Structure 1
Amino acid sequence: MTEKWWHDKIAYQIYPKSFLDSNGDGIGDLRGIISKLDYIKALGIDIIWLSPIYKSPFVDQGYDISDYYAIAEEFGTMEEFDELLAEAKKRNMHIIMDLVINHCSDKHEWFQKALADPDGEYADYFYFRKGKNGNPPSNYRSYFGGSCWEPVPGTDKYYFHMFAKEQPDLNWENPKLRQELYNMINWWLEKGLAGFRIDAIINIKKDLAFPDYEPDGPDGMAACWKMVENVDGVGEFLEDLKKNTFQKHDAFTVGEVFNMKADELGQFIGDNGHFSTIFDFCAHSLSDGAHGWYDAPHVDFKTWRDTILSSQINVQKYGLEANIIENHDEPRGVSRFLPKYAQTPVGTKMLGTVNILLRGIPFIYQGQEIGMQNEIWNDIHDYNDISTIDQYKLAREAGLSDTEALEVCGKMSRDNARTPVQWNAQVNAGFTTGTPWLKVHSDYKEINVAAQEKDPDSVLNYYRKLTAIRKAPEYKEVFTYGKTVPTYQDSETVMAYYRETKSQRILVAANFGRETVSTKLEYPVKKVLLSNQNHTDCPEGMLKLDSCEVIVLECEK
């Protein structure tokens, strides 16, 4: 693998609306982020990813962009963004932004011009199609529910949207549209941005015939992703995008890629991949329901463990993926991946360790470093997320009671990750002096940054040790480029793997069970690098793990 500047980096995702509010309007902002750069740096972070801060009506929390060249006034000004870039650079940190180019907002001037002249130049920036026999052009259901087709007022045409109706899809077949996007991307990179996280990018390739698919629900519609899975040629668009933008600037790019074909991974990552890396969602996909959250399967430990380790084995043939426990689109990992008895500081440290020491680029999501958990939601009206409201409706239509539907949403809602960061035990967890846009988690007095700063044994201080070990000069090579070798796979409760180079071998071993596990060590131990239960040595030749214990050992090679 050709060495790149980003290979050994650790990233931190900020959801700006919920990070820190500096002016009391209840919404996090750029000034709040700037004030916490030293905190982020102390966590061992090199790259900060900002979820969308562009001008937007916020129908889908900023993923509906009305002006790609403007900062939303809710977050601040372009001058403050430039200050953020400069202050991050002083601390040797890089800023990447969200790149949302499958769709834009219906308030974007391109779409407004298209509506004004549905047969004109700008209509071809989108997908305007005539209906069939008084019905939409095809039977696709959008990701947020309902038809992917919305009538164009005053015409017999419809426009296509895979997400909300306020997010019309952009027509990537149009070279003029593509050039507009490339100009915008290069503008940001020339400004000093280090790269992008690229949203929903696999969706840019459409089957222009928009064929119907076999309905998969009582609404007579089929999930729009079926078209994505059945169409070829997205790679040509992605290569064109890379060559005209990212490649020129040695930019770091991380793709949000679902529905990739089984043999395509090597085209997406690696030395000649479309992107620097893509997120590994293998563990998160295990709880995908056939119809929605309401029929999401329970994921047992062994399936979760084996899925992650199998992915590691597969990916290392090609390059590096980006590893996450949670993000703005997923519930909190502690609540999702740990049994109740393990949803403690000790269990939280264990989950963080097995994830952050995997091969790949670790992404820590805001609040993860203090062990934030899912909130308890008692009323559907407490939610803000458009997807959660749709999933609640689906669950009720499937026959679940209000209580059952709320329980389903409580487990899976994206708003679990969007509750404000818990900075201290003061009003609103120190997030705002005003009224927060989304409720603060009820446990903020117990789980917050200020309390954990003072506690040397806190989750926060443990995360700092964890990132420091990954980046330590004597271990950086093995944790960056070393292969992952699963071990102790016959155990019912242990997740363990080696990270190995020709000269080094590190064992990461965790016991997710209730009972102590004891087994023989396969190699002599040179040193205990880290333990979430403060163990400093191993009994001779034995690996003994208490419940929820993780240990990191340097072994002889």
Structure 2
Amino acid sequence: MNRTWWKEAVVYQVYWRSFNDSNGDGMGDLRGVIEKLDYIASLGVDVIWLNPCYTSPDVDNGYDIADYYGIMEKAGTMEDVDDLIRASHARGLKVIFDLVVNHTSNQHHWFEESRRDQTNGKSDWYIWHDGEKGTPPNNWRSYFAPSPWTWDEGRQQYYFHSFASEQPDLNWEQPGVRQAIYAMMRWWIDRGIDGFRMDVINLIKKRATFDDVEDPFDLSYLGNQPGVHEFLQEMHQEVLAGKKLFTVGEIPFVGPEDGLLYVSEERQELQTLFHFEVADDMEDMDLPRFKQIQKRWYDALYPKGIASQFLNNHDHTRQVTRFGSEHYRVESAKLLGLMLHTLPGIPYVYQGEEIGMTGIRFSDASLYQDVAFRNRYEERIAAGEPSGTVLSSMQLRARDNSRTPMQWDDSQASGFTTGTPWMTVNPNYKTINVQAAEQDPQSVLAFYRELIQLRKEHPVMVYGVYRDLAIQDPYLYVYEREFEGVTWRIVLNVHDEQVETTFALPNEQLLLSNYEESASEILQPYEARLYQTSRG
């Protein structure tokens, strides 16, 4: 595997609207991010991924873009963007933007022109289909609605949307669409950004036909269609080739073999990807299944390509709540961190993960702001399900679980804002916050800083061969990484009870542990150990 800076990087995701509010309006903003750059840099991370801040009516928290060349008033101004890029670079931090080009807002001027009639210059920039009003063209579903088709009175046709009705999908078959997107990407690169996180990028290619499907709830028909790689290779040649950029694709509906097609260094498409065999498909931690997923992806990708490691982000419940234990919050937060940073791939830290923030369960459905939650909740209520049943079944996976404001200190609104926060702060901010973590040498924050420093100092953490030593064990995750004569062994008790193990290495060098006493063959609940062994 070729050695490059981006394979060695750690990415910090900033969901800016929940990160830090600089002006007291209750909404985080770009100036707020600038105010906290020293904190981000102190973690040792290399790249900031910033969620969309483009001009948007904000139906889907910025993923409905009305102008790719403008900045949402809630976020700030273009001058703020320029200052953020400059200030980040001055601290050795690279900045990547969300690239949302599967769809736009229905308020984008492209769509406003496209919907005007069937003969205008952009009439085919979106996906239109004949039909009778009230009878969608097929039985498909969208991510956010019962149907991906919405009737437009002006054109007297249906338009297609993989997400909300306010997010019509672009027609990538139209060369004009692709060239407009490539021009926009070049414009942002020239402005100084260092790459893109490409939102649902493998949805840009649609099925050849829009026939009914057998199971409309299996949304895999929306993505990973034949021909998508031709689009991505064209994008690479038109925009990315020859530039020192970082690109990561959000790629649902793929397994390892298909994943390699996106990230193989020989194919010149993307550098790395997010897959969702864990974050979307596992309700909670199923350790044997998780280990099989890791092995399959490693065996398929390496050494030709590289994947990403994450368990939470702005779309997925915080990892401690979902895959760890709130009872053993500190221990499980450290274990999950150690695991993700020592497994093969590029680790992502979602804001607040580094202090062990937990998810939230609102007791009232009206408190959820996420369009996906609201639409699905209303659909199920309309179908006759009891409201209590619907709410309880949706709470854990609701996207707002991870979108509550960053917890900076124990003051009003957790130090996030001097006003009324746009979303309720998790009540546990009084004890779980950055200020408290900074004062505790055993905090999750201190542990993360040590983890990230280890990655900078030890290439085995990045390039080491991966071997699972106990793949069928339901509680223990034990694996080795080996590179240039250095062997690391990671021993994890992913369980809330003590477990005895023969994999502990009391005579070897213990580099890191989440318990102060880690010398016995008994692993405590959620105990994690990292050894450097003499074998090489």
Alignment TM class, shorter chain as reference: over 0.9
Which letter does structure 1 place at the counterpart of 2:274? Answer: F
3-state SS, counterpart of residue 87 of structure 1:
helix
1:457 paired with 2:442, answer yes
1:185-224 matches, within 5 Å, as: 185-214=185-214, 216=215
Once residues 245 and 143 of structure 2 are traced to their aligned partners in structure 1, the CA distance between those partners, rounded to angstroms, is 30
Instruction: Note the aligned Cα RMSD (angstroms).
Output: 2.0
Contact 2:133 2:151 survives alignment (8 Å): no
Q: 1:455 to 1:169 in 2, by over 3 A?
A: same
Which letter does structure 1 place at the counterpart of 2:220? Answer: W
Once residues 123 and 179 of structure 1 are traced to their aligned partners in structure 2, the CA distance between those partners, rounded to angstroms, is 16
Q: Which runs of 5+ in 2 are unaligned?
A: none
1:21-170 matches, within 5 Å, as: 21-131=21-131, 135-170=135-170
Q: Give 2:533's aligned residue.
A: 555
Contact 1:50 1:98 survives alignment (8 Å): yes
Which letter does structure 1 place at the counterpart of 2:428? Answer: D
Once residues 165 and 133 of structure 1 are traced to their aligned partners in structure 2, the CA distance between those partners, rounded to angstroms, is 15
1:434 paired with 2:419, answer yes
3-state SS, counterpart of residue 6 of structure 2:
coil
Once residues 478 and 35 of structure 2 are traced to their aligned partners in structure 1, the CA distance between those partners, rounded to angstroms, is 38
Q: 1:451 to 1:110 in 2, by over 3 A?
A: same
1:527 paired with 2:509, answer yes
Contact 2:127 2:169 survives alignment (8 Å): yes
1:258 aligned residue (252, 264, 267): 252
Q: Give 2:233's aligned residue.
A: 239
Q: 1:395 to 1:494 in 2, by over 3 A?
A: farther
1:479 paired with 2:461, answer yes
- The alpha carbon displacement at 1:340 in A equals 5.3
Once residues 398 and 308 of structure 1 are traced to their aligned partners in structure 2, the CA distance between those partners, rounded to angstroms, is 39
Q: Give 1:336's aligned residue.
A: 322
Amino-acid identity (%): 38
- The alpha carbon displacement at 1:484 in A equals 1.4
3-state SS, counterpart of residue 284 of structure 1:
coil
Q: Give 2:494's aligned residue.
A: 512
Q: 1:352 to 1:299 in 2, by over 3 A?
A: closer
3-state SS, counterpart of residue 65 of structure 1:
coil
Once residues 508 and 217 of structure 2 are traced to their aligned partners in structure 1, the CA distance between those partners, rounded to angstroms, is 57
Q: 1:260 to 1:512 in 2, by over 3 A?
A: closer
Q: Give 1:290's aligned residue.
A: none
Q: Give 2:289's aligned residue.
A: 303
Count residues with an aligned counterpart. 534
Once residues 249 and 391 of structure 1 are traced to their aligned partners in structure 2, the CA distance between those partners, rounded to angstroms, is 42
1:5 paired with 2:25, answer no
Once residues 284 and 112 of structure 1 are traced to their aligned partners in structure 2, the CA distance between those partners, rounded to angstroms, is 35
- Return the TM-score normalized by structure 2: 0.95
Contact 1:172 1:204 survives alignment (8 Å): yes
Q: 1:324 to 1:246 in 2, by over 3 A?
A: same
Residue range with higher mean Cα deviation, 379-388 or 398-407: 398-407
Q: Which runs of 5+ in 1 are unaligned?
A: 288-296
Q: Give 1:285's aligned residue.
A: 280
Which letter does structure 2 place at the counterpart of 1:241? Answer: M
Contact 2:28 2:75 survives alignment (8 Å): yes
1:376 aligned residue (361, 374, 378): 361
Contact 2:50 2:95 survives alignment (8 Å): yes
Which letter does structure 2 place at the counterpart of 1:100? Answer: V
- The alpha carbon displacement at 1:409 in A equals 2.1
1:314 aligned residue (281, 300, 325): 300
Contact 1:143 1:223 survives alignment (8 Å): no
3-state SS, counterpart of residue 364 of structure 1:
strand
3-state SS, counterpart of residue 326 of structure 1:
coil
Once residues 407 and 326 of structure 2 are traced to their aligned partners in structure 1, the CA distance between those partners, rounded to angstroms, is 22
- The alpha carbon displacement at 1:401 in A equals 3.0
Once residues 283 and 131 of structure 1 are traced to their aligned partners in structure 2, the CA distance between those partners, rounded to angstroms, is 38
Contact 1:497 1:509 survives alignment (8 Å): yes
3-state SS, counterpart of residue 390 of structure 2:
helix
2:221 aligned residue (216, 226, 230): 226
- The alpha carbon displacement at 1:133 in A equals 8.8
